[in-house]
Structure 1
Amino acid sequence: MAPPRVSATTVLHASDSVLLRQAGTETVLLDLTSEEFFGLDGAGARMYELLAEPRTIDAVADVIVDEYDVDRDQLVADLVDLAAELVERGLVVADE
């Protein structure tokens, strides 16, 4: 089964099977199911923190755009791409 398509309006949340730890300036995710690590920094790490509660990428971008000096449209595009990868890896869950 293919992972769901992720868009700016897809409701996402962090997987319950993932531990999040800070390692210097990087946020490290450990998938307890696959025992694989995945590193995030900057806006990607902030997105993952915000997905502790179910949110859309649009809602995440609203928070991050106020914290970073970034173009909102580019931020949303980058977060959608990252979220799609995290969903595919099982680190983020898309609510259906």
Structure 2
Amino acid sequence: MLKHPQITLTDSLLNQQKYQIADDVLYRQVDTEAILLSISGGAYYSLNETSIYIWDALKNQQPLASAVDRILDEYDVERTQVLTDLQQVLQDLSAYGLISPVNLE
């Protein structure tokens, strides 16, 4: 069983925290879904339509707040739900070794 790291969403995390995507992650999008595959670990993770915005922010080194804003602009959803989902996606991606935080200095 994977150990899910506890990630707390703060203003710093949303606006400044960067994540490194593991070198061996393959990404494939088909329509409104995508799959992430770790070559070395064999783990795969499915992204839904809104999680793709989070992945795009991660891979483009954009603030996660930009993904939250994009989701809120395009979908009829409460901010609290978007933040809850973002936290879960980050914890899952970290647990699978697909991303790791970059130390801010």
| Range into which the TM-score falls when normalised by the shorter chain | 0.7 to 0.9
Equivalent position of 2:96 in the other structure: 89
Moved more, 80-89 or 29-38: 29-38
Structure 1 gaps of 5+ residues are none
Q: What is the identity percentage for the equivalent residue pairs of Structure 1 and Structure 2?
A: 28
- Of 26, 29, 34, the match for 2:33: 26
TM-score, normalised via structure 2 length: 0.72
- Of 27, 35, 57, the match for 2:42: 35
**Runs of 4+ in structure 1 over 4 Å off:** none
Within a 5 Å distance, the mapping from 1:2-17 to structure 2 comes to: 5-9=6-10, 10=13, 11-13=17-19, 14-17=21-24
Q: 1:62/1:30 Cα in 2 relative to 1: closer, same or farther (>3 Å)?
A: same
Q: Tell me whether 1:76 sits opposite 2:83 in the alignment.
A: yes
In 2, the alpha carbon distance for the partners of 1:19 and 1:30 equals 5
In 1, the alpha carbon distance for the partners of 2:75 and 2:22 equals 25
Structure 2 gaps of 5+ residues are none
In 1, the alpha carbon distance for the partners of 2:62 and 2:101 equals 10
TM-score, normalised via structure 1 length: 0.77
Q: How many residues align?
A: 95
